[in-house]
Structures are given as structure tokens and as C-alpha cells.
Amino acid sequence: MVLVIETWVISDDIPAPVSSEVVRETLRLRIGSGRFETWLISSSGRSLAFVTNTERAMVMLLEEEGDPGEHAVEPGSDGSSDGFVLSNGQHDEYPDQDTVPIGEAFRLVEHIVGTGSWPADAHWVVDR
């Protein structure tokens, strides 16, 4: 049996594979340059979205284009946060329960890029 490893690239960047070992630093560099929305595309056609306001992040995993997907949540969080700036200039606000603290978001993205799935201890919901 041959194990096929899924590779990920950043959709609006040089199409070089991004590994789980460098994805956190890559996201930090993008945030530092004012790019708060990042889409990673896998070799199997899946998409991983990361949108942040630098304190919290929305992390979504989609199986294909048009898929409502799945997203990370923080159960029990109250309130909402704004300052999520999309690449088209749109400013969004999300309930805190539908986003996670930035450190957790980095961990989730690293794990998904490295293994193709959510960590066993992650909280996420299916939006399909």
C-alpha cells in the first residue's frame, strides 16, 4: 500500500507546498504584512481558510468549492469580535463561539496541514 500525503499551498502566493512545520510562521508573516485572510488549497482539492483579527481566528475546512464545510468553535464563548478583514476589503464580525483564540487557530491549521484532519481534542461543527 502506498500512502499519499496531501500537500497544501497558499492560494494567492507562490504555489510551493507549505508544511505543518512552517505554516504557523507563514501565517504570522502574512498577518504582519496586513493579510488577515489566507486560503490554503490541498492537492486533493480541499480548502482551508484562516481569517483573523490578530486575537481570534475563523478556521474553516471545505471539501470542495461550494461546500459549506466545517469550522472551529469555542463552545460557551459569549460576545462577538470584529476586525476580521477579508482580502476584498470587507470587514466582518463573528460570534466568539464561531472563532477560536489565535494560538489555537495556529495549532488547528498546523494539525490539518500535517494530517489532513482536525485534532482529536478540537471543537468544530459541520455546516453542511
Cα separation, 16 vs 99, whole angstroms? 28
Cα separation, 116 vs 94, whole angstroms? 25
Domain ranges for the chain, please list them: 8-126
Cα separation, 46 vs 85, whole angstroms? 23
Residues of the chain predicted below pLDDT 70: 1-4
User: How high is the pLDDT of residue 4?
Assistant: 58
The answer to whether the predicted template modeling score (pTM) of the entire model surpasses 0.85 is yes
User: How high is the pLDDT of residue 5?
Assistant: 79
User: How high is the pLDDT of residue 3?
Assistant: 57
The mean pLDDT of the chain is 93
